[in-house]
Every structure is written in C-alpha cells, then in structure tokens.
C-alpha cells in the first residue's frame, strides 16, 4: 500500500515538473540576454495581411523597408528607465541596431525583428514602448519629441490629442505599453538576464454601429444618425495611466469635465439590408480615446454613457433620445479603455419594432518578440 502511494506521489511530481518546464513563462532569453516580448493587436477577423497592411487598425508595427532585405526601420521607440531616478538608461532607436537577417512580416510570416544592445546592470526598471507614431490621420496629434526625451516623467506626461470629434486612423494606429523589468545576474561573469511581456495596446477604443433586419423582408432605412454624448474625450495619455484620459476641469461650470465632447454622425441611408442580415452604419469603425462615463444629473444620476439614435423606416420616423449604453443585463457601461470596442446593434423586427444590443469586447492579441543582448 505504501509502495502504491509512493508511486502515485512520484507520478504527480513528474507531471508537475513536466508542466513547469513547458509553460509560456519559461521561454526567457539565453544566458546574457534581456528579452522584451510584445503582444500586438490583431484585426477583429484575425485576418492578418502580409506586409504592413494591417497596421492601420493596430494589427502590427509599421516598418520601412530599404533596398536590401535586412534594411528595416520599424516605427518603434523603446525606453528602459531607472526605477529610482527615472533617467533613461537604454533606448531604441539610439542605442540599438536592427540585426542582420531578421524578418519583418515577410509574406505571411509575422516574426518580429531583433533589436540588440549591451545591457549589464542589475536592478528593476520601467519599460516604455510606443509604435506607429510616424503616420496617421490628420485629426490626430502625437508627441513629436520622442527621440529627445531623457526621463520617465517626460514620457508619463506625453498626450495624444484629437482636433476633431473622432478619428478614423489613417496609415498607422499608435500602440503603446508600459511595464516593469527585473534584471538579475546570470551564471557567467558580466552576463545578466531578464524577461518581460508587454501588452502593446492601441491607444484607442472603437465603436461599431450597425442595423440588423428581422422583419422577414429586405429593409431600407433612411436619414440614419447617431450621437454619442460625452463619450469622446479630446485628450488622453500616450502611455497607459489611471485614469487613462486627461482631466481638464470644468471651466464652464456645467458640472462636466471640459475634455468630454459629443460625437454626432452625418445623416445617411442604409438600404437593401437582407432579411436576417446586418449592415454597418459607419464605413469604418469610429475611434475614440479611452474615457470613463461622466456622472449624469439628467435624466438619471450615476455614471452613464448616453446616445441618441434616429432613422426613418416604412415612412415612420424613429427617434430614441438619451438611450443608456448598458450591458445585456441592463448594467451601465461605465468606462471604455484602450484596445476595447463597443458594438451597438439596432435590430428592426416585424412591425418595425426596435431593440438595441450593446456589447463591449477586447480586440484580439498576438505575440511578437524583441531581444536586447
């Protein structure tokens, strides 16, 4: 009996040892390397295009190709800052070089290039990374002094601004991340090891708005319009912070932060929706900076996002004012963060009855790597 119990315990120990050797966290760099791995957002459909085609919606990091396959310049900045002083001890670009032979979205591959420089100091560091800041919609204002910053406080103070009520990002969608890196002595003299995985997130959330037809016949909608109230802040932080948007105060004494603005879409028709079909209202998702729902005094108290939705169907005008944005269980959605999306489906049923469905999801992620030698 004792022998049988011993064998059972030994088997359990072997299973635990096998599991500990194969886990996701057990893939650090070789002796003497400090590794930073990034998780980068994919498109919602997970249809990752070859080359740089998916960077406009945050599915990758833009890279400029030169004449040769190894002549690659990523639109990427990385800063390693001393935890106590805040000073930048290593950075890319500047201290780093692109390794010869590295691949960057070559065909259908998605292998991150390697960025290498010496790092030989034990300690705990703050790591900042930002990508895709070299291009985008003209409505978007990004920091222009990333190459000249000297300390963490400057990085923490950087903001993104939207000059118009919303932005459909153009050639590149900015991504950013912030985390903590612990570097320890390795087995060999002068060698140090460390590993951190950062979620390199889009600096925005997006809203998708669509109509669904359950009338039993093809559906035509006219003069459709949606207004998001107090959802669209005009200034937010480049790197993740709490709260993740800039508080501007209430200089108008209207009880609301001046950073909040309404977003009103242009009126448009949505015609030819097949029965049981769904049609997007925006040609592209509307992109907003992170925000928290403001406290509403009218028509209700508490934190709440509100929207107005109107359209004409079957010759009848439908108008819904101060519609609360909430979960299927009627709980108010009180914040929208970076790398999230809000999907609003307006369903038109038999007799032109209307119902609404609000869903908040995360944009998908995938893993990329960059190694510091």
**Mean pLDDT, residues 114-134 taken together:** 80
pTM: 0.79
**Mean pLDDT, residues 78-82 taken together:** 91
pLDDT at res. 322:
92
Most confidently predicted of 16-30, 54-68, 194-208: 194-208
Q: How confident is the model at residue 62 (pLDDT cuts 50, 70, 90)?
A: confident
Task: Return the structure tokens found at 237.
Answer: 């932080």
- Domains, the chain, in order of start with CATH, read 31-204+364-372 (2.60.40), 205-362 (2.60.40)
pLDDT at res. 206:
87
| 238 pLDDT more than 70 | yes
Q: What is the DSSP string of 229-246?
A: EEEEESEEESS--SSSB-
pLDDT at res. 134:
84
Range with lowest mean pLDDT among 61-70, 74-83, 93-102: 93-102
- Please give the torsion angle defined by the CA atoms of residues 58, 61, 63 and 68, in that order, rounded to the nearest 10 degrees: -130
Instruction: Give me the sign of the Cα torsion angle 56, 198, 134, 166.
Output: positive
| 140 pLDDT more than 60 | yes
Q: How far is CA 70 from the centre of its chain?
A: 29
Q: How many CB atoms are located within 10 Å of the residue 182 CB?
A: 14
pLDDT at res. 153:
96
pLDDT at res. 11:
39
Residue 78 sits at the vertex; the CA angle it makes with 75 and 82, to the nearest 5 degrees, is 165
Q: How confident is the model at residue 2 (pLDDT cuts 50, 70, 90)?
A: very low
* Cα gap 206→179, rounded to integer Å: 24
Q: Supply the mean pLDDT for the chain.
A: 77
pLDDT at res. 5:
40
pLDDT tens-digit series, residues 155-171: 999 999 886 666 666 77
Residue from 228, 234, 283 nearest 260 by CA = 234
Q: In a 10 Å sphere around its CB, with 0-12 CB exposed, 13-18 middle and 19+ buried, how is residue 52 labelled?
A: buried
* Cα gap 339→236, rounded to integer Å: 14
CA atoms within 13 A on the CB side of 243: 17
- What HEC string does 320-353 produce? EEEEECECCCCCECCEECCCEEEEEEEEEEHHHC
pLDDT at res. 167:
63
Local structure of 20: helix, strand or coil: helix
Residue from 123, 125, 120 nearest 151 by CA = 125
Contact 182, 194 (CB under 8 A): yes
| 353 pLDDT more than 80 | yes
CA atoms within 13 A on the CB side of 80: 27
DSSP 42: P
């Amino acid at each position: 009996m004792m022998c049988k119990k011993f064998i059972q315990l030994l088997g359990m120990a072997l299973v635990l040892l096998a599991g500990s050797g194969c886990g996701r966290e057990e893939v650090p760099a070789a002796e003497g390397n400090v590794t930073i791995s990034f998780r980068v957002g994919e498109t919602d459909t997970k249809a990752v295009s070859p080359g740089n085609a998916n960077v406009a919606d945050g599915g990758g990091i833009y890279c400029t190709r030169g004449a040769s396959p190894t002549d690659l310049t990523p639109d990427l900045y990385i800063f390693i800052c001393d935890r106590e002083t805040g000073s930048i001890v290593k950075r890319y670009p500047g201290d780093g070089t692109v390794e010869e032979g590295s691949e960057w979205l070559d065909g259908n591959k998605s292998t991150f290039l390697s960025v290498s420089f010496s790092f030989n100091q034990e300690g705990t560091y703050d790591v900042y990374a930002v990508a895709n800041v070299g291009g985008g919609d003209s409505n978007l204002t990004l920091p222009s002094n990333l190459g000249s910053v000297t300390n963490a406080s400057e990085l923490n103070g950087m903001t993104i601004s939207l000059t118009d009520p919303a932005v459909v990002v153009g050639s590149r969608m900015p991504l950013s991340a912030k985390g903590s890196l612990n570097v320890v002595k390795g087995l060999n003299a002068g060698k140090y090891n460390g590993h951190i995985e950062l979620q390199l997130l889009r600096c925005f959330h997006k809203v998708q708005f669509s109509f669904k037809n359950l009338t039993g016949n093809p559906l035509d909608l006219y003069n459709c319009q949606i207004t998001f109230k107090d959802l669209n802040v005009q200034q937010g932080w480049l790197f993740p912070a709490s709260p993740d948007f800039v508080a501007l105060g209430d200089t108008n004494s209207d009880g609301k932060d001046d950073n909040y603005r309404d977003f009103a879409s242009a009126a448009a028709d949505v015609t030819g929706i097949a029965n049981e079909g769904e049609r997007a209202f925006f040609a592209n998702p509307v992109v907003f900076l992170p925000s928290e729902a403001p406290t509403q005094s009218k028509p209700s108290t508490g934190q709440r996002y509100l929207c107005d939705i109107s359209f004409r169907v079957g010759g009848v005008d439908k108008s819904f004012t101060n519609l609360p944005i909430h979960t299927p269980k009627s709980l108010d959605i009180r914040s929208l963060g970076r790398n999230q999306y809000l999907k609003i489906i307006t369903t038109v049923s038999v007799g032109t009855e209307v119902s609404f469905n609000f869903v908040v999801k995360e944009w998908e992620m995938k893993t990329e790597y960059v190694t510091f030698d």
